[in-house]
Amino acid sequence: SRRTMGRAMGLAGLLLGLVVVPAVLVSTSLRHGAPRTEAEPEPSGWELAADAVPEDSLWPLPQWVRTSPRQLQLAPSRFQLVHGAGSSAGPGCGLLQDAFRRYYEYMFGHSRRRTWGRRPLAARAEPELFQLQVVIEAGDPGCDKHPQLTSSEAYHLTVTEPVAILKAYEVWGALRGLETFSQLVHEDDYGSFLVNESEINDFPRFAHRGVLLDTSRHYLPMKSILTNLDAMAFNKFNVLHWHVVDDQSFPYQSIYFPELSDKGAYSSNLIYTPADVRLVIEYARLRGIRVIPEFDTPGHTQSWGKGQKDLLTPCYSGGQPTGSFGPVNPVWNTTYNFMTMFFKEISSVFPDEFIHLGGDEVDFSCWKSNPEVKEFMKKQGFGTDYAKLESYYVQNIVDIVSSYNKGQMVWQEVFDHKAQLKPDTVVQVWMANNYAHELSSVTGAGFTTVLSAPWYLDYISYGQDWKKYYSVEPLNFPGSEKQKKLVIGGEACLWGEFVDATNLTPRLWPRASAVGERLWSSSNVTNLQDAYKRLTNHRCRMLRYDLVA
Amino acid sequence: AENEPSWETPCSELFVYVSTPGCDGFPTLDSKESYKLSISKGSMLLSAETVWGALRGLETFSQLVGRDENGTYYINETEIVDFPRFPHRGLLLDTSRHYLPLRAILETLDVMAYNKFNVFHWHIVDDPSFPYESSTFPELSKQGAFNAMTHVYTASDVRTVIEYARLRGIRVIAEFDTPGHTLSWGPGAPGLLTPCYVGEAPSGVYGPINPIVNSTYQFVTSLFQEVSTVFPDFFLHLGGDEVDFTCWKSNPEIRAFMKEMGFGEDYKKLESFYIQRLLHIVSSLGKGYIVWQEVFDNDVKLRPDTIIHVWKENSMQYLNEMANVTRAGYRALLSAPWYLNRISYGQDWIAAYKVEPLNFAGVPEQKALVMGGEACMWGEYVDVTNLTPRLW
């Protein structure tokens, strides 16, 4: 459920002052080699046209925006981001202090050629904006907490002279508001910083807006992950779904089971130490981003077997072990002893309320070949239905993880194979084929769900594929209003088979931005031409912030 | 321990022996790039006919050097005799759809050398922008570049590219694509492009270069005079692709000209009229030329030493085109299956690798006319933020 501001403000759709700038179409260029497509609206120059309106640079588009042509000027040497009177947060709020510095740097710092204070302000007609005051309204602002699914990200921004006010219920809303404010500030031809008088009321449509990174198919150095968190913050994403280990490698350095990464990582330097993990979590927290780790089992676990003997199922052929292994062995007690210890560690290392258990693409052939497993199936009365065995396993893990007071996220197969899940389990729908039907089923059964199926960004293709990601409507499935409320959001997934630090950022951004707006903005924000204009400006801004988008 | 390799006396020198001089010249289509590499106990010898072959051999040598777990550099005894199958192995970069800073071009040249590419096809200008700073016509980039201060290639930049390439045995073939793909030329050269008409009145929109006015040919002569001097390679790429006839058709003066010349309604004849004059101008400047396949497809009269660049890909039709071009006696370059800008999911390098350029019906003399090919990285969706991982 989404928190709204104290006083009921605008609803989705009231976008006064939002003007759709007519497409400045000139080029009839036929793309060499590409099929003839319709001409794209493109800005005639690479800078904002002189008559651009301030909303031209907002991404994602806020729920309610009103701007006036009246401009205010900002002097970098004088302008301040401060805590406002009555705020429950003050200078002791490290999260906001950090954000103030960061956003000051974004707005004014990148123009390296500036020399402050040489020319007096005298000549300008515009009044000066001296401050942005941030006022947190909740009794507990959340400065030292971690963001949660139920955190409030709503904010209200008023930009008038002499002081702009950013009100938010919790610090998370302030972070979102600071991002928006930074998108309103622009430089004119003379290098002066200006902002239009405006009022914005904003909150996200969906509470779970995530990006999945896969650090097993290819190791991603810390710099890559942190840069990506920055980019997520520019786009108001609030969940990093960290698919940290898989078949290919196990880079997570476990405290209880150091052999897992010793034997399972690509090499001894391609790991995430506990300090690395803490840094990712804190860096994310300061940007209002939750870190949900995924330790995918029982499938996708080849790399676990390197450092943990007798965890994976030995496969058999003709009555003899072949030497190769399959999914985690669900029949041995030692498996659950291991998982109990392992998830105890994970539960304490990762502060989020949720852990992703995986559960996808379990290949039953190895289980079917193993005599002990077959014996177990018989004893349990599962017949030949190995989905039941998978569910038996998953249910045990669910119980283990629940005992540590963590909620669970799972891939859709876990639900499809009818495992018994806790009522607050989040089911992630990823299979592209008829996903609308799956959403109906999952929500029909009363589970909350996160949509990824149409947003597998690792599936690259030629041209402006951002449009197809943008055009997805997550609630476009047969279901009651109650069901639709169970869709808590979505995740853009960048699986790592063909991705590493050399190409991650340009592959993910700004394509993921399309998903970001779809998950934050109102459902009727669908105009592609307007989106194009704002997205190109947004992309250029991300480049100015040194993101290689 | 028994299984450790016994290192021979360390090798201290690789002798490079080149039989024909030519350090200060430029590589050409006919340059010999063959080399021999002989690594044995006590002697490492790289011999080549030309310096270009030596460059190729040095690259190979560097690929043979290994390093063991102790950090020791080693090389196995080796004999290599090598030469390229095709003499024209090129890469196209498009600096008009998106400007590419100089460092991106230079980095690309480095990686080309690692991969033994020897032609940099610089598709320098096109519809969206004109970054080439012309000394004869400075207005072209002043009005036509994305940003005339920052998104241009100065004469010094161009010289840098040419020399950086030369030092790696890479030819630089500039493409000034006409008469289509020239919208960015318009602002800096008033009167050059055809004004399109809606009914009786000009619409304000422009089309391809105007082929019927003398000023066009004066302009073209002057521009290519400069380009011929700036770019030392014997070949220039003249483009000639995707000419949209709609604007010409709409223009009453052009319609009148068509009538006068007896071209009927066949605008390909008008295109030919322009191209033929262009080819003549360029020939008199002492340059050879490469053109996109439409110029051949549209029956333009060409000099026998023209090279036709095959680019249209339509379910393997390009092989037919290769057959047609070579049967007509022209040399051919293949790019159709190698449009690397057309990305797709997975290991698409395999499809590019499997291409067999000579897989068309033809006699050996025809096949010998295939000079090679070019991987193309068109710039609609490519700039410095994603060029390198997309290309390599």
For residues B248 and B110, membership in a common domain is answered with yes
Interstrand relation of B35-40 and B43-48 (parallel, antiparallel or unpaired): antiparallel
The CB density around residue B360, as the number of other CB atoms within 10 Å, is: 21
A279, A189: one domain: no
In a domain, B2, yes or no: no
How far is C-alpha B9 from the geometric centre of its chain's CA atoms?
46
Task: Judge if the upstream peptide bond of residue A314 is cis by omega within 30 degrees of 0.
Answer: no
Q: Check pLDDT > 60 for residue A113.
A: no
Q: How many residues in chain B?
A: 392
Q: What per-residue confidence (pLDDT) applies to A33?
A: 39
Nearest to A548 among B242, B341, B385 (CB): B385
Predicted local distance difference test score (pLDDT) of residue A23: 31
A503 and A365 share one domain: yes
Which tokens hold the place of A481? 């209003």
Residue A36 has pLDDT above 70, yes or no: no
Which of A107-121, A129-143, A184-198, A427-441 has the least mean pLDDT? A107-121
Backbone angles phi, psi at B320, to 5 degrees: -60, -45
Residue A347 lies in a domain: yes
pLDDT higher than threshold 70 for residue A121: no
B114-138: pLDDT as tens digits: 999 999 999 999 999 999 999 999 9
Domain with residue A224: its CATH number is 3.20.20.80
What is the pLDDT at residue B11?
A: 77
In a domain, A515, yes or no: yes
Q: What's the CATH code of the domain at B116?
A: 3.20.20.80
Residue A40 lies in a domain: no
Nearest-10 Cα torsion for A160, A163, A168, A174? 110
Does some domain include residue B158? yes
Number of domains in chain B: 2
CB distance A168 to A155 below 8 Å: yes
Position A39 scores a pLDDT of: 40
Q: Which one, of A148, A149, A152, lies nearest residue A136 by Cα? A: A152
Whether A446 and A469 share a structural domain: yes
CB atoms within 10 A of CB A380: 12
The boundaries of the domain holding residue A404 are 208-545
Q: Does the residue A446 lie in any domain?
A: yes
CA distances from B66 to B10, B47, B76, B309 (A): 14, 21, 9, 40
CA A251 to chain centre: 21
Looking at residue A455, its pLDDT comes to 98
Assess whether B64 and B134 both reside in one domain: no
Supply the range of the domain harboring residue B23. Answer: 15-82
CA distance to A482, B163, B196, B258, B275, per residue, from B252 (Å): 65, 47, 9, 10, 21
A14/B98 Cα distance (integer angstroms): 37
Q: How confident is the model at residue B314 (pLDDT cuts 50, 70, 90)?
A: confident
Statement to judge: residues B74 and B98 lie in one domain: no
Cβ pair B341:A502 closer than 8 A: no
For chain B, list the strands marked E by DSSP: 15-18, 35-40, 43-48, 66-67, 73-74, 78-82, 88-94, 119-123, 171-178, 193-198, 201-209, 235-239, 288-292, 307-310, 331-334, 370-377
Tell me, yes or no, whether B278 and B152 share the same domain: yes
Do A461 and B389 count as a contact with CB atoms less than 8 A apart?
A: no
Q: In what order do the strands lie in the sheet with B15-18?
A: B15-18, B43-48, B35-40, B78-82
**Together in a domain, B71 and B219:** no
B67 plus B177 within the same structural domain:
no
Express as a percent the part of chain A with pLDDT over 90.
85
A249 and A140 together in one domain: no
Strand A320-328 relative to strand A312-317, pairing: antiparallel
Q: Do A391 and A332 belong to one domain? A: yes
Give the pLDDT confidence of A270-308 residue by residue, as tens digits. 999 999 999 999 999 999 999 999 999 999 999 999 999
Q: For the stretch B130-142, what's the b/e string if a residue is b when 16 or more beta carbons lie within 10 angstroms of its beta carbon?
A: bbbbbeebeebbb
Give the closest of B128, B376, B386 to A27, CB-based: B128
Label residue B215 by pLDDT band (50, 70, 90). Answer: very high
Q: What is the pLDDT of residues A389-421, one digit of tens each?
A: 999 999 999 999 999 999 999 999 999 999 999
Where on the phi/psi map is residue A400: left (φ > 0), alpha (ψ -120 to 50), or beta? Answer: alpha
Is A281 part of a structural domain of the chain?
A: yes
Domain C-terminal end among B63, B82, B101:
B82
A14: pLDDT strictly greater than 70: no
B5 found inside a domain: no
Say yes or no for a CB contact (<8 Å) between B389 and A503.
yes
State the pLDDT at residue A125: 78
- Structure-block tokens of residue A161: 């002279």
Interface predicted TM-score (ipTM) of this complex, two decimals: 0.90
Domain boundary among B82, B114, B140: B82
Any idea which residue has 């008009």 for tokens?
Answer: B96
pLDDT of residue A35: 35
Q: What burial class does residue A543 get, using C-beta atoms within 10 Å of its C-beta: 0-12 exposed, 13-18 middle, 19+ buried?
A: middle
- Mutation site for B-interface testing, chosen from A24, A26, A27, A29 by largest number of B Cβ within 10 Å: A29
Task: Give CA–CA dist A143/A153, Å, rounded.
Answer: 13
Answer yes or no: is A18 within a domain: no
Domain end among A202, A218, A238: A202
SS3 call for A435: helix
A33 and B343: CB-CB below 8 Å? no
**Domain match, A372 and A511 both:** yes
Q: Rounded to an integer, what distance in angstroms lies between the CA atom of residue B315 and that of residue B14?
A: 48
Choosing from A47, A361, A375, A473, the catalytic residue is: A361
* 3-state DSSP helix/strand/coil % of chain A, to nearest 5: 35, 20, 45
Q: What is the pLDDT of residues B264-290, one digit of tens each?
A: 999 999 999 999 999 999 999 999 999
Q: What is the C-alpha to C-alpha distance for residues A374 and B271, in angstroms, rounded to an integer?
A: 76
Chain A residues lying within 8 Å of B376, measured CB to CB: 32-33
Q: What is the pLDDT of residue A22?
A: 32
Q: What is the CATH number of the domain that holds A60?
A: 3.30.379.10
pLDDT confidence of residue B316? 79
Predicted pLDDT of residue A54 = 74
Q: Which of B242, B347, B390 sits opposite A32 (nearest CB)?
A: B242
Task: Give A111's pLDDT tier (boundaries 50, 70, 90).
Answer: low
* Residue A27 pLDDT > 70: no
Helix (H) or strand (E) segment spanning residue A113: none
The reply to whether B62 and B101 lie within a common domain is no
> What values do phi and psi take at B308, rounded to 5?
-100, 130
Give A118's pLDDT tier (boundaries 50, 70, 90). low
End position of a domain, from candidates A170, A187, A202: A202
- Picking from B82, B106, B129, the residue at the C-terminal end of a domain is B82
Q: What is the pLDDT of residue B21?
A: 86
Q: How far apart are CA A495 and CA A457, in angstroms?
A: 8
Residue of B nearest to A542 (CA): B385
Contact A303, A247 (CB under 8 A): yes
Is the omega angle on the peptide bond into residue A474 within 30 degrees of 0, that is, cis?
no
Single out the residue of B389, B313, B377 nearest to residue B341, CA to CA.
B377
Q: How many CB pairs under 8 A join A and B?
A: 74
Collect all residues of chain A within an 8 Å Cβ-Cβ radius of residue B148. none
- Decide if B317 touches A, using CB distance below 8 A: no
Does A99 share its domain with A231?
no
pLDDT at A41 over 60: no
Mean pLDDT of B196-219: 97
Question: Average per-residue pLDDT in chain B?
Answer: 96
A66, A113 contact by CB (below 8 A) = no
B38: CATH: 3.30.379.10
* Band of pLDDT at residue B223, cut at 50, 70 and 90: very high
Q: What is the pLDDT of residue B41?
A: 87
H or E element that contains B357: none
Residues of A within 8 A of B334 (CB-CB) are none
pLDDT for the residue A55: 84
The helix or strand, by DSSP H or E, that contains position B32, with its residue range, turns out to be: none
| pLDDT band of A116, cuts 50, 70, 90 | low
Query: What pLDDT, in 10s, does the model give residues A244-262?
Result: 999 999 999 999 999 999 9
Do B229 and B343 have their domain in common? yes
* CB-CB neighbors (< 8 A) of B347 in chain A: 498
Instruction: Identify whether residues B332 and B262 lie together within a single domain.
Output: yes
d(CA B48, CA B35): 4
Shared domain check, A216 and A175: no
Q: Is residue B268, in this structure, part of any structural domain at all?
A: yes
Whether the predicted pLDDT of B240 surpasses 50:
yes
Side-chain-side CA neighbours of residue B192 (13 Å): 22
The verdict on A302 and A194 lying in the same domain is: no
Whether A279 and A415 share a structural domain: yes
Note the pLDDT tens digit of each residue in B142-183: 999 999 999 999 999 999 999 999 999 999 999 999 999 999
Least confident of A26-35, A271-280, A436-445, A525-534: A26-35
Closest partner residue to A460 (CB to CB) among B241, B312, B343 is B343
| Distance (Å, whole) CA A261 – CA A215 | 13
Same domain, A81 and A196: yes
Digit-coded pLDDT (tens) for A91-101 = 999 999 999 99
Chain A interface test: which of B345, B376, B383 (most A C-beta within 10 Å) = B345
For residue B159, what are the contacts with CB-CB under 8 A and spacing of at least 6?
none
A4 lies in some domain: no
User: A-chain residues within 8 Å CB-CB of B346?
Assistant: 498
Q: Which of B211, B136, B213, B131 is nearest to B176 (CA)?
A: B131
Last residue of a domain, one of A173, A202, A231: A202
Q: Which two tokens stand for residue B103?
A: 């460092």
The secondary structure of residue B359, as a DSSP letter, is: -
* CA-closest candidate to residue A378, choices A364, A388, A391: A388
Q: Which residue, among A2, A288, A283, has the nearest Cα to A154 in the 3D structure? A: A2
Cα A334-A337-A341 angle, rounded to 5 deg: 140
pLDDT score, position A53: 75
pLDDT at A10: 41
Residues A188 and A248 in one domain: no
B322-373 per-position pLDDT tens digit: 999 999 999 999 999 999 999 999 999 999 999 999 999 999 999 999 999 9
Kindly report the three-state secondary structure assignment for every residue of A125-146: CCCECCEEEEEECCCCCCCCCC
| Mean pLDDT along residues B311-315 | 89
Q: How many domains does chain A have?
A: 2
Residue B3 lies in a domain: no
Residues of B recognised as catalytic: 242
Report phi then psi at A280, rounded to 5.
Answer: -60, -45
Q: Residue A159: beta bridge partners?
A: A198
B123 and B48 part of one domain: no
Average pLDDT over chain A, rounded to whole?
A: 90
Do residues B39 and B181 both lie within one domain? no
Confidence bin at A52 (pLDDT 50/70/90): low
Question: If 0-12 CB within 10 Å is exposed, 13-18 middle and 19+ buried, where does residue B238 land?
Answer: buried
- What is the token pair recorded at A136? 């947190």
Are B63 and B108 in the same domain? no
